[in-house]
Structure 1
Amino acid sequence: MGVSGDAHVGKVDTMPDSTGPESRMPVATRPRARALVAAGLTLAVAAVTATGCASAEEQVPTIGYGIDNVVTTYNAGTVDGATSGARQAFVRVQPGFSYTGPEGTAVSDTDVGSAHPVPAEALTIAYQINPAAEYSDGAPLTCDDLVLTWAAHSGRFTGPDGGQLFDAAEVAGYTDIDRVDCVPGAREATVVFRSGRSVVDWKSLFGATSILPSHVVEREAGVDDLVAAVEAGDVEALGRVAEFWNTGWSLVPGELDLSRFPSAGPYKLESYSEDDGLVLVANDRWWGNRPATERIVVRTKGEGLAERVESGEIEVLDVAEGSVPGLDVAGWEVAELPSLGVEQLILSSTGVFDSAAARRAFAACVPRDQLFETFGTIPEHTGAPLGVVDARFVARDDLIYPSVATAADGRYRQPDVAAASAAGPLTVRIGYRAPDQQRRDMVSAIASACEPAGITVEDAGSPEFTSSALRRGEVDAVLAGTAGADGSAGSTERTTAMYALRSGSGSNFGGFANSRVDQIVDQLAVDGSTSATLALAGEAENILWTEMPTIPLFNQPRTIGAAEGMHALDPNPSRSGTGWNMDRWVLRR
């Protein structure tokens, strides 16, 4: 039927996994260790395991994992879900045909199945689902689940009022799909792209945390055949589907109907409470290698991460450097490395910032050099040079970055009181997810720099904050990572960063719209050549430094650490977070 519309930390025994996220080189612990590495590289220090000691150690059945974000939904695809910690918490609960590895690239996950291009006039990808794949409730993983993913992210389905039915954060790649050929219940699907739209980043589509159980949606939305509803464009049925997809997977501590949350990964969700955290346990129906540790407890921002590290409740930590006051990781192996995500200010296009002149005036007092020196540096960093980020579509370590970044022309580095005063007195509310000591201090530094220009900066950070507050007019700017992410973010592909500035994209929180930027984004999505990127990204930056929808700052430094006795932990500074291979983690004491 055609539907249209792992640095190992500690003493380690390598846990081979030929198909899913794999283990890597062993690493030992040492007091106050600082293994300073570039993104994606394995921690490497001398092993200290003595052969005679290994037999005395016992494996700990539960590992605590602390992240600098909140988990409010099982659906990482919604606007708020994409900025939350859902990707980091559920990367091994909701696997897909790929995952974002430590190098920031899409890596095939053959436990789930295979995806490969087939000869055709337009880009056509054949997806084959593993015949053994099933959810923890016994339902099979089928092409119906891929149809749901595409429908939700395609941007194709609107309601009677013309608004989007699905509250999807990302549409990149999915909007270029012409149809998904799927016989309901089948284990294969053929995805056909529109003519001329050979998407460069197609391997990221249908990846980890994007595929959700369509059989749950059908049951909860009262739709007998989701594939048929999508094929027919049945707005009434799809409205019910979208309503559940948007809100039906919300996570509230103490209120969990497990029938709505089946897993197709090595872990499944067992419980969620304020006292016990988000508890993941081994999924008995998982068809791949059984998880090395039976139980992972995810602890999130606002749950007293520093105190839980001190008490021994957390053995793995993945947070922004300086974000958790009082954090003491003495005796841990720690990597401080730059995130693939860029810390930035996302500005509204309405209210106080309804003109580009006002946005430029504010940018003129933001002390980007000072912010980098104070909050963005990593001592003794041995990877690619760090610094203020002057380009939005090209990473700092890209060979063409210096050429693309010339559009900034050294501007907006130091406060320029005269230029910042040009728009007259302004009051700017900057929001971010609290508690976050680093972002709090950054807002304070910006306020001090802007005050002489008559610009009052108010700290609007709160524990309930989401980046979508910007579109509701509750704040004037958001301090967050790439595409508004609160915690770990980014990849080596420029897709997410580009589409966060494309009109109509759910991740475009500021509502920025420029037809030429839209054209550039659409072209770069299908042309990844160096020549095209150099020319088009450079043109885009000239527009963006004039229109100023965002103010890029620096690659966020991440602190990723593991307690003594941890094995098979591989720091991942991308949007997957270090939990990307949590099913290989082992803690021995």
Structure 2
Amino acid sequence: MKRISAAVALTAVGALVISGCAATEGGGDDSGLVEGSSITAAWNQPFYSYNGNTSFGNATANNNITYLTLDGFNYYNNTPELVKNTSFGSYEVVEEDPLTVKYTVADGVNWSDGTPVDASDLLLEWAALSRALDTPDFDPADFTDPDTGEFTDAFPTDVVYFDSGATPTAGLGLVTQTPEIGDDGKSITMVYDAQFVDWELSFPSPLPAHVVGKNALGLDDNEEAKQAVIDAIQNKDDAALAPISSFWNTGFNFTELPDDPELYLATGPYVISDFVADQYVTLTANPEYKGDNAPNIEEITIRFIPDPLAAVQALENGEVDIISPQATADIKTALDALDGITVLTGVEGTYEHLDLQFDQGKNPENIFSNPKVREAFLKTVPRQEILDKLIVPIAGEDALLRSSQIFVPGAEGYDESVANNGSEAFADVDIEGAKALLAESGVTDTSVCILYATNNPRRVNEFALIQASANQAGFNVTDCGSDQWGGLLGTPGAYDASFFGWQSTSLGVTNSLPTFQTGGINNLNFYSNAEADAIVEQLNVEFDTDKQIELQQQLDKILWDDFYGVTIFQFPGVTAFSDRVEGIDPSILAPTIFWNAWDWAVTDSGSDEG
């Protein structure tokens, strides 16, 4: 059956998260938790960080897990529309000018160790996501390992640096005054320096301040650690903030179950109970959770299966109950042959794109700092061939070539933007034009190392097509592919170009902008354009829809004129699940299949592993 039509699926521009893949409010039902019940879902990339708000951890593979374990003030259902999660807490605008917003944690909300969630957690979240307390002008580039994407041991210990990618013109970056704590330590009130159109999306799920305080400051008592974090922030104590920021950045990165259970405390319906490196994460119903989204299933295991055909085989064998792999023609054929399986197809909000490193690439000449070389390379990218060979066999008439960096096909403003943004110059491969530009550029080292997911068959084929085409024009395309590609994105010196998927997480008009703004969390290719930054600043405060579209169209043209990169295709989506489970109702926004996992149920109410 069809999940969604292309027209319905592609109507919103949202916040973007690195994609590994690929109409109810979801308040749970009255059946309650079925003891001993369990199901298994598959995902194509392993989990590696419990902090999805860092440049390192911002990936779908991580956020799928934390969505179910870290509660927050709101979430998107699959309409999609924003749902206020009042069982976690409430928020309200207490003053329009200046924009002043109060966040209050609901009574009885605890971490899974029983520690109450309170203003210390919210205040730490503000400090991290505003970066208002960061050491000025510090650049972490020299302290990032090009092989892993993580910070090195040489990272200065006296620097305050929260790796959230916050900028001073958007989101909590506009809240430079330290928020006031109120309501006996249950609330904080934030004053924005300027209006921000998407203020309601500024404050994601917090991490535990008491855990950060204990680990960063060598404390043992939870309450003492909370107070120490509050004091450090309120007093702007750099000596304490430096280790606090360092632990927030890296302390929650792990690729197997940590020895310290405090590193994966939960506030959501589930808590991590097991994690085997590169194999699976198991989530168990959180006994401390008292919210509205109480789960039906006691245990959900998420297995990591990078190969889509292997995921289909696991579904056929009953080893997993739900899969949502990157679709290929072989996947479609294999699923069509299965009995007792429901298959949902359509077009996703995720899109494939290729970016060029404007600075700090692997090539010794920093090849893509030269606009002629950028233009030349983009002329070689076989966008239509990729669509025809890899996507049309799956999606048929729903296969969509995307020609905008900002708008999704079908969205208001898309057609007009594509007609004027200059993308037409890259509609077809132009090898001779690329050769001429490359000759004019004066570069002597034409090597281009491309980062992509080597454990993804579709991406392997995509790389081969790009490599063959670009080499015809005189480029020497080499393979920087890795199965750890997500952590390497944005790492200085690791690669020259990359292709992967951006997945929408919200309907906010501003939240795709950190991809293109200087220093933004999703700006992984060191792109910087003053005119683009100025438009981003205008969009952050623009409430008029028509003006928003006009500004977005201007930004789209700047990006194509700068030869930023090329968009390629919208993802064809496929979700399949066995008759053993029900309640699977994917959203076009991340976390797609997991958005209502608390509504999933085992149809036989059995306790077998499936």
CA 1:93–1:145 in 2, change beyond 3 Å: closer, same or farther? Answer: same
Residue 83 of structure 1 deviates from its aligned partner by: 2.2
Q: Do the aligned residues in 2 keep the contact of 1:174 with 1:205 (CA within 8 Å)?
A: yes
SS in 2 for 1:281: strand
SS in 1 for 2:176: strand
Which one has a larger percent helix, Structure 1 or Structure 2? 2
Q: Do the aligned residues in 1 keep the contact of 2:3 with 2:346 (CA within 8 Å)?
A: no
CA 1:494–1:355 in 2, change beyond 3 Å: closer, same or farther? Answer: farther
One-letter amino acid of the counterpart of residue 377, structure 2: F
Residue 386 of structure 1 deviates from its aligned partner by: 5.6
- Residue matched to 2:544: 529
- Residue matched to 2:174: 176
* Aligned counterpart in structure 2 of residue 203 of structure 1, from 177, 200, 204: 200
- Residue matched to 1:298: 302
* Aligned counterpart in structure 1 of residue 412 of structure 2, from 389, 399, 421: 399
Residue 583 of structure 1 deviates from its aligned partner by: 1.2
* Aligned counterpart in structure 2 of residue 552 of structure 1, from 552, 556, 567: 567
Equivalence map 1:383-462=2 (5 Å): 387-405=400-418, 406-408=420-422, 410-421=424-435, 422-424=437-439, 426-462=446-482
* Aligned counterpart in structure 1 of residue 531 of structure 2, from 513, 516, 519: 516
CA 1:106–1:433 in 2, change beyond 3 Å: closer, same or farther? Answer: farther
Matched, 1:308 2:322: no
- Residue matched to 2:269: 266
SS in 2 for 1:271: strand
Q: Tell me the TM-score normalised to structure 1 length.
A: 0.84
One-letter amino acid of the counterpart of residue 198, structure 1: Q
CA 1:59–1:568 in 2, change beyond 3 Å: closer, same or farther? Answer: farther
SS in 2 for 1:466: helix
CA 1:119–1:167 in 2, change beyond 3 Å: closer, same or farther? Answer: closer
SS in 2 for 1:81: coil
- Residue matched to 2:145: none
Equivalence map 1:123-134=2 (5 Å): 123-134=99-110
Residue 530 of structure 1 deviates from its aligned partner by: 2.8
One-letter amino acid of the counterpart of residue 297, structure 1: T
Question: 1:136-168 CA deviation, whole Å, 9 max, x = no partner?
Answer: 111111122121112112132334872461111
Distance in 1 between the 2:589 and 2:516 partners?
20
Matched pairs, number: 532
- Residue matched to 1:191: 190
Matched, 1:238 2:241: yes
One-letter amino acid of the counterpart of residue 289, structure 2: W
**Is there any run of 5+ residues in structure 1 with no aligned partner, and where?**
1-32, 44-57, 483-487
Distance in 1 between the 2:600 and 2:533 partners?
42
Report the more deviating stretch, 553-562 or 386-395.
386-395
Equivalence map 1:70-81=2 (5 Å): 70-81=46-57
Matched, 1:562 2:577: yes
CA 1:233–1:136 in 2, change beyond 3 Å: closer, same or farther? Answer: same
Report the more deviating stretch, 151-160 or 94-103.
151-160
Residue 106 of structure 1 deviates from its aligned partner by: 3.4
**Is there any run of 5+ residues in structure 2 with no aligned partner, and where?**
11-22, 25-33, 140-159, 218-224, 360-365, 440-444, 605-610
Residue 311 of structure 1 deviates from its aligned partner by: 3.1
Residue 371 of structure 1 deviates from its aligned partner by: 2.1
Question: 1:190-214 CA deviation, whole Å, 9 max, x = no partner?
Answer: 12111xx22121222223xx31111
| Fraction of identical pairs, as percent | 23
- Residue matched to 2:326: 320
SS in 2 for 1:189: strand
CA 1:467–1:341 in 2, change beyond 3 Å: closer, same or farther? Answer: farther
Distance in 2 between the 1:375 and 1:276 partners?
28
One-letter amino acid of the counterpart of residue 401, structure 2: V
- Residue matched to 1:507: 522
Distance in 2 between the 1:328 and 1:251 partners?
34
Residue 34 of structure 1 deviates from its aligned partner by: 5.7
Report the more deviating stretch, 508-517 or 456-465.
456-465
Distance in 2 between the 1:333 and 1:462 partners?
33
* Aligned counterpart in structure 1 of residue 592 of structure 2, from 562, 577, 580: 577
CA 1:464–1:125 in 2, change beyond 3 Å: closer, same or farther? Answer: same
Matched, 1:111 2:87: yes
Q: Do the aligned residues in 2 keep the contact of 1:481 with 1:489 (CA within 8 Å)?
A: no
Distance in 1 between the 2:123 and 2:56 partners?
22
Aligned CA RMSD, in angstroms, stands at 2.8
